[in-house]
């Protein structure tokens, strides 16, 4: 009897289960699933773990990036890292058993990425990791552990920058498994340009054309979980806002913390940009966020992907961390790693506004065609494992 999970797959098509869980995953998977759907050789399935579940954190991204609804949603929701990881594994396992994919493809470095990779490899299913090899060398970052574990079990490792290849080689990975293909986040950025260029976010926020403003994001546990650390960031942002207005789309976990410690807004939070001050706004969708960054004078962030988007858009970026796993954004881009000291944040921000860095052009292979390269490798891999039968 066939299982209710079992998809109808054209005979000979390569069954790929694609996993997404959190915001940055949605951006990365969009061009990949699109590229797979263009080729009859692939039968892609999309599984959402449900790690991110709010309209603003999940469905809005599916709409903005024109991703079809997932075939399965594991609805794991929030929880400790152990719980989230365990629930993804527990709920994904029977689906993999029923679908029997040729490969599981995971992207990025969130808990869902690592959990799905382990589940697949334990079932003897090949794993492809897109955005492999990035290392911050800071093991206190949950994402660093997720990267190391995922790369250790993956069969195919797709890297976005040379550092990724170098890190994997140093860790003893067979070079034949490493493919330098470029960056699918940039495919998404370029592929949706015509949409985000029409975003109405400027009108919504009351940003007049030509107004200088900065965009701020902050959500890393190391930056927001300790009240003292968060208060010191808020002090820096409040001072900087006397020089340039700041738009701060606030991640749900950070809003809670800002509210509970009455940090940041000295008056009621503004959801429109004022000439001096911080506009604390709800998390933005992909198109509105990219549009906002594209015309900003400065980005301040602790995100990984935003360092890459700012680099591609030629917008100066100051990263509020001690390390980056994306060094190409510093060597070839507009990014500087400045840590969390309030005096340094102010000094670097004012310096950058007065002397914006030159734009060196995109890093190698960030050309909007990474997904095509990846599906070509997947196809070759599938052919090598199951060569087409010769006619008798």
Residue in the structure block whose two tokens are 């579940």: 53
Q: Pick from 210, 220, 194: which is nearest to 321 by CA?
A: 220
| CA terminus-to-terminus distance, the chain | 32
**152, 130 contact by CB (below 8 A):** no
Nearer to ligand UD1, 253 or 385 (CB): 253
For 373, half-sphere exposure in the C-beta direction (CA atoms, 13 angstrom radius) is 20
**Least gap, CB of 181 to ligand UD1 (angstroms):** 22
Nearer to ligand UD1, 15 or 52 (CB): 52
Burial of 81 (0-12, 13-18, 19+ CB in 10 A): middle
For residue 128, give the H/E element and its range: strand 126-130
**Least gap, CB of 24 to ligand UD1 (angstroms):** 5
How many other CB atoms sit within 10 Å of the CB of residue 80? 9
**Least gap, CB of 117 to ligand UD1 (angstroms):** 13
Look at strands 103-107 and 72-73 and give their pairing: unpaired
Nearer to ligand UD1, 109 or 308 (CB): 109
Nearer to ligand UD1, 251 or 332 (CB): 251
For 12, half-sphere exposure in the C-beta direction (CA atoms, 13 angstrom radius) is 7
Alpha-carbon torsion 10, 15, 16, 19, what sign? Answer: positive
Residue 386 is a catalytic residue? no
**Least gap, CB of 285 to ligand UD1 (angstroms):** 13
Binding residues (CB under 6 A) for ligand UD1: these are 22-24, 51-54, 57-58, 78, 109-111, 142-143, 219, 252-253
Nearer to ligand UD1, 219 or 336 (CB): 219
**Least gap, CB of 263 to ligand UD1 (angstroms):** 17
Q: Pick from 241, 239, 249: which is nearest to 212 by CA?
A: 241
Write down the catalytic residue from 81, 195, 219, 369.
219
> Could you give the residue numbers annotated as active site?
219
């Amino acid at each position: 009897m066939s299982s209710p999970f079992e998809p109808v797959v054209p005979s000979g098509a390569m069954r790929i289960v694609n996993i997404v869980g959190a915001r940055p995953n949605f951006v990365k998977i969009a061009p990949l699933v699109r590229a797979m759907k263009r080729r009859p050789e692939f039968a892609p399935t999309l599984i959402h773990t449900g790690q991110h579940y709010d309209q603003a954190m999940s469905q809005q991204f599916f709409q903005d990036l024109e991703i079809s609804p997932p075939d399965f949603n594991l609805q794991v929701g929030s929880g400790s890292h152990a719980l989230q990881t365990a629930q993804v594994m527990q709920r994904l396992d029977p689906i993999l058993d029923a679908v029997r994919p040729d490969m599981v493809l995971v992207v990025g470095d969130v808990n869902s990425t690592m959990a799905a990779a382990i589940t697949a490899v334990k079932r003897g299913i090949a794993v492809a990791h897109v955005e492999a090899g990035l290392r911050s060398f800071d093991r206190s970052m949950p994402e660093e552990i997720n990267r190391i574990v995922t790369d250790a079990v993956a069969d195919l490792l797709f890297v976005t920058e040379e550092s990724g290849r170098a890190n994997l080689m140093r860790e003893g990975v067979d070079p034949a498994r490493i493919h330098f293909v470029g960056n699918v986040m940039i495919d998404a950025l370029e592929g949706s340009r015509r949409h985000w260029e029409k975003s109405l976010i400027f009108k919504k926020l009351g940003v007049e054309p030509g107004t200088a403003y900065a965009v701020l994001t902050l959500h890393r546990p190391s930056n927001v979980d300790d009240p003292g650390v968060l208060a010191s960031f808020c002090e820096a942002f409040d001072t900087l806002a006397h020089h340039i207005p700041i738009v701060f789309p606030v991640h749900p976990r950070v809003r809670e913390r800002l509210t509970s410690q009455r940090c940041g807004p000295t008056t009621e939070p503004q959801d429109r940009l004022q000439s001096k001050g911080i506009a604390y706004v709800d998390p933005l969708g992909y198109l509105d966020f990219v549009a906002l960054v594209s015309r900003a004078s400065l980005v301040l962030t602790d995100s990984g992907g935003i360092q890459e988007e700012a680099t591609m858009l030629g917008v100066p970026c100051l990263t509020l961390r001690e390390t980056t796993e994306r060094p190409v954004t510093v060597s070839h881009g507009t990014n500087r790693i400045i840590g969390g000291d309030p005096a340094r944040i102010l000094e670097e921000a004012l310096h950058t506004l007065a002397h914006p860095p030159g734009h060196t052009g995109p890093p190698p292979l960030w050309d909007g065609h990474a997904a095509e390269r990846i599906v070509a490798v997947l196809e070759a891999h599938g052919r090598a494992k199951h060569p087409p039968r010769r006619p008798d």
